[in-house]
Amino acid sequence: MTDVCSDTGKSSWPELVGINGEVAAKIIESENPKVRVSIVEEGMMVTQEIRCDRVRVWVDKNGIVKDIPSIR
């Protein structure tokens, strides 16, 4: 990702896997104000383009983070 997106600040949050998605989104926004955070439920269709200002927080049906949130 660093090849495509430079100077993005913190770009990955592995420590947030397993916590509530809303809480994770607030943490990401506070640690990197350069990104927009979206909470996405597993199985939802999303676009595939790389955006240096976007972090998707993938959650299960209970709202728990299932994948490492990162800039993509």
Domain boundaries, the chain: 1-72
**pLDDT at position 2 over 60:** no
In tens, the pLDDT along 14-58 reads 999 999 999 999 999 999 999 999 999 999 999 999 899 999 999
How far, in Å, CA of 34 to CA of 11, rounded?
10
The pTM for the full model equals 0.87
Distance of CA 10 to the CA centre of its chain: 11
CATH-assigned architecture of domain 1-72: 2-Layer Sandwich (3.30)
CA-to-CA dists, residue 12 to 61, 62, angstroms: 22, 22
